[in-house]
Structure 1
Amino acid sequence: MKIIIADDNSFIREGMKIILSTYGDFEVLATVNDGQEAVDFCKNNEVDVALLDVRMPNMNGVEATKFIAEHTSCKPMILTTFDDDQYIFDAIKNGAKGYLLKNTEPERIRDAIKSVYHGNTVMQEVVLDKLKSNIDGSKKAETKIDASLFTEREMGIMALIAKGYSNKSIAKQLFISEGTVANYITSVLGKTGLEHRTQIAIYYLTGSLE
């Protein structure tokens, strides 16, 4: 797996390079100082996964995520010290395939990169908790989306996704099969142009596809 690391702290990015290079699965092609350098490298080279910090000069990690996701085959993944709600929302909406904090154990970072490489989306527990906290404690999830675009069943499934329910839990809650849940999710993704269920949760909570 070909990786780049973007972080304006040279100690962190070089340290991460050393750690990841000890795993035979990874080849760290480059370490760069900011989001713009990450974008430029991904445009001109074949990169599988880009590890991006959030706060960087010239172009931050959230902005770089959007460009990399839209214009390259590379999968952007946030690795940062910041778990600010807006950073999380924006990164996921912009196409981030993962959001982890730097204090995560190296083995978990390794496993997350591999999972993202294989097409999955990886969110650390604290990040998922941030998403779910928007509606925790409320009897009904408030949504800002136009309900007329979706069937009543699709709206119900999106609400449960926003609450953090798995497909299996949704199926049990609604007395339908997991395959039927998956079909409804596919329908929602098709109507919205979103790519995965975490983005559905963000969309349901914020009403924004941008």
Structure 2
Amino acid sequence: MTIRVVVADDQELVRSGFAMILDVQPDIEVVAEAGDGAEAVEAVRRHGADVALLDVRMPRLDGIEACRAITAAGVCRTVMLTTFDSDEYVYEALHAGASGFLLKDVRRDDLVHAVRVVARGDSLLAPSVARRLVEQYTRPAARPPRPEPRLDELTGRERQTLLLLARGMSNAEIAAELVVSDHTVKTHVGNVLAKLGLRDRIQAVICAYETGLVAAGGSPPGDRPGDRPGPLPPPRR
């Protein structure tokens, strides 16, 4: 099955470069390029795209609003193209429904991998990108924790799984950390999403930070009873 992609960026060289990398893949077809968010939304609708790569900052309609419109239509998943040091609206993009983030200096193989991951319905939560962005834009000083009663519905192991998700760990890494099978981790992740009413892993990470379950830096805010089944070692590098 061919993955149909729209690439949107107001910088033509960046846009064309990404498009060239993707279009030579046997399972990916770039069906359109767009210079702003409005063009991107229309291109997704016209071509029935599966994945849209959206620059956060674009004229007419920015990437966040384009992401919100595309997500609302429910027919295409979105990946934001961002420069970590300058973008101030990543938090809003997460809530708009973005399925992942790529830095604009992303490596060729990582770009292709990201499109394939998002196309199959997963979220791109690389520790080097998504976790740092979430920590930056959900730090307690900027956004006070909000109560989330549904956290009480999580078992101790599900809560620990959520903590590890917030560190940007993959299922395989979580399985190694908890010494369980990949299948068990998938079950825990599915239970976390279902009980908290979340769409994907990225929303789970946002929830962990917003509720104060995890503080900036990826650690629990304290040793409150029930916060975790046991001490969590620093994330593996």
2:89 aligns with 87
Is residue 198 of structure 1 aligned with residue 202 of structure 2? yes
In structure 2, relative to structure 1, the CA distance for the partners of 1:172 and 1:3 (3 Å cut) is closer
In structure 2, relative to structure 1, the CA distance for the partners of 1:91 and 1:177 (3 Å cut) is same
2:139 aligns with none
- Once the two structures are overlaid, the 10-residue window that deviates more, 181-190 or 3-12, is 181-190
1:155-170 to structure 2, matched below 5 A, reads 155-167=159-171
1:57-136 to structure 2, matched below 5 A, reads 57-82=59-84, 87-131=89-133, 133=135
Question: 1:118-147 CA distances to partner (integer Å, 9 max, x unpaired)?
Answer: 22222344213415756xxxxxxx953323
Quote how far apart the aligned CAs of 1:164 are. Answer: 3.7
With the length of structure 2 as denominator, give the TM-score of the two structures: 0.70
Say if 2:125 and 2:168, in contact at 8 Å, map to a contact too: no
Measure the CA separation in 2 of the matches of 1:30 and 1:51: 11
Give 1:23's aligned amino acid: Q
Judging by fraction of residues, say which structure has more helix.
1
Question: 1:23-61 CA distances to partner (integer Å, 9 max, x unpaired)?
Answer: 232221111111122112222331011111000112211
Measure the CA separation in 1 of the matches of 2:120 and 2:97: 15
In structure 2, relative to structure 1, the CA distance for the partners of 1:109 and 1:150 (3 Å cut) is same
In structure 2, relative to structure 1, the CA distance for the partners of 1:143 and 1:186 (3 Å cut) is farther
Gap regions ≥5 residues in structure 1: 135-141
Q: CA RMSD in A?
A: 3.0
Measure the CA separation in 1 of the matches of 2:88 and 2:210: 11
Give 1:189's aligned amino acid: L
Q: Number of residues paired by the alignment?
A: 201
In structure 2, relative to structure 1, the CA distance for the partners of 1:179 and 1:147 (3 Å cut) is farther
Gap regions ≥5 residues in structure 2: 137-143, 212-237
2:6 aligns with 4
With the length of structure 1 as denominator, give the TM-score of the two structures: 0.77
